[in-house]
Structure 1
Amino acid sequence: MNMINIGSGTVVSKKLQYTYAEVMDITSNFELVIGRGGFGSVYCGQMKDGNKVAVKMLSSSSTQGPKEFRTEAELLMTVHHKNLVSFIGYCDEGDKMALIYEHMANGNLKECLSENHSHCLSWERRLQIAIDAAEGLDYLHHGCKPPIIHRDVKSTNILLSEDLEAKIADFGLSKVFKNSDNQNADSTMIHVDVGNEKSAIMGTMGYLDPEYYKLNKLNEKSDIYSYGVVLLELITGLSAVIKGNPSIHILEFVETQLEKGDLNTIIDPRLKGNFDVNSGWKVLGLAISCTASTSIQRPTMSAVLSELKQCVNLESTSTSERDIFVPPRHIYSEFYSSSMTYSFPR
């Protein structure tokens, strides 16, 4: 494939490059905004063959910039998986930068879990979304050489297709570990003080790995932590940071409810009990394992996938089998021993 140079980095084949005029045509002069993020606004577009696309424009006021734009373009050109958003092309004309993706008809997971959404996702569908996202992350961690750490896994970066298949999006903050011994972040988004030095921590509050936050050591387990928070969102139907006076982290909510020992106070009440109790406890235990405060205690994404598939199998058990289930007490000890060691970044 022919490669071209964009700014300081080698990016993608010219056949994927679009002019700004073409981008304007694709989006009908940026008529319909379908999302906003740290990069800028996302517009609905349509290609000449009739296929819908999403066009993400880099804003001059963006918290991300040309470096993140080129990181995302480079990665999207090299990674291909059914649970990663498909890359259509890009535009890079002076200060006019755009990334073009396949259109995901059902928006992002956070929107679909919102109380304002017209349809409540079933428990089975939530499990499948969790599996889809895990498949995408497992590919990044173990299917790519060198491995890729996403660094910004969150419910707004998990997009849903027309048939509610989940795909991971937004690779602007991703880190490629060309040297497996190099475990430190090398670009800036959120600045925090670590010891006596100011260090660069990248990610989104609520999903940020407390070990990474405290020690500034990045590895794939940082994505596992963030994924665990998303799993808790799927379980509870709540946001990572639950607004209130004061606002609390979703793990703090789970801690409080676990003291009651009633799974029904944790799992999204909109499901009205339509879930297998065995499956519910198992997924909750998995989420708690993923959000352990130290990375060594967290499972790999491959192990997460295996556990989630077992949860799906539990959905086929009979009602009588569900009735005799005894909640696993180890979930409590795991939670209190591993999940609340650090204060959550505010």
Structure 2
Amino acid sequence: MASILMVIEAKIATTYLVEQIMRACGLHGVDYEVKFLNELRIDDVTPNTIPMFVRCGDPLVLSWAQLLVDANRSYIYYIDDNFWRIRGESPLAVYYRHPLIRKALQFAVSHAETVIVNSPELATFVSRFNTRVAILPAFFDFSLIEGVAQSASEEIRIGFAGSPSRIDDLDLIAPLIEPVLERFPKTIFEFAGVLPRGIAAGTRVRFFPHTGDYATYIRFQASRNWAIGLAPLLDHEANRGKTDNKYREYGACRIAGIYSNIPPYRNVVIDNETGLLIENTKELWLNAIENLISSPGTRKNIGNSAFNHVDEIYNLQKVALEWARLFQSIDMSRQKFTKQLGRGGFGWRKTLRKLQRYAIYIHISYIEGGIYLVARRIAKKLLVIA
């Protein structure tokens, strides 16, 4: 049985999803355990264990990757975003542009036995650091939305849910809201997690706070009974390397989706059958929204076709078999003549990485809110320790 040690920095949607696939892999001879990077100990990494770092860019991952390389131990790196190409000045973008984060990320990716990605575009980019890249399919767990009651209403709800980092993509949608509301009295826009710039919540524009719990988030989305789901993506390298999560979610919920005509959606959406693929212009997006509002039959057909397509190719149990086969292959082929993980000097190296991590967080906090925010976050941390 392959034994995978899943190492994460924090509980986020991605780690929740990867843990779902790991759980499903148990039926195919794969065992797993989850550890936080900052709590990882040398004794956790036994000779039979294969660590898998999930989206880890913290300086601590550099120490662990160096330790594993020195001991001739195989490890896996999973990545679902192009962190080298994130645009803007958000805390996330600033974090991944920091030289120490770039150094840790690049070393960990470069020396992995296998780098797992979900998109061909990201695979092409990552291969400049490591040619041992495996493209594995993403999935949807239909059990998450079983028994979810949909909100009954005559409203025509148009929805989008995402993190605040998606605000730039919503610039495509913001100019369309007012004309749609004026022409179609029954329409309502609903945004969860982020509002477009210049748009205020009100009677016909609803805002719901972001939730970090993926199961709660997807059940909320299923319950809102959206007639149309929006999936705008600005055309740049970081977005082209993303997964097609909006298509999986909308399809599973039988929502007729409108998608920017770029990868990842261009790779999977069947235009006018399982969704609408639209070039990123105001006129084309407005036409697409208005056409779907005016055609309930088309919305229903697209929603049903998308559901059938997602169920066919993204079903969790089917996808888990492909992931399990990769883990078993790595387990069979990995180097058996490994060294004991060296402890000498590792403690000092970890301490140095922790200090570097704190320096990075202080730097980002200062950019966000100046010395006041730095002081507030330090005080909050001290209160937690106390």
TM range (shorter): under 0.3
Q: Which structure carries more relative contact order (alpha carbon 8 Å, separation 6+)?
A: 2
Q: Rg bigger for which structure?
A: 2
Length-normalised TM-score, structure 1: 0.26
Structure with greater proportional helix content: 2
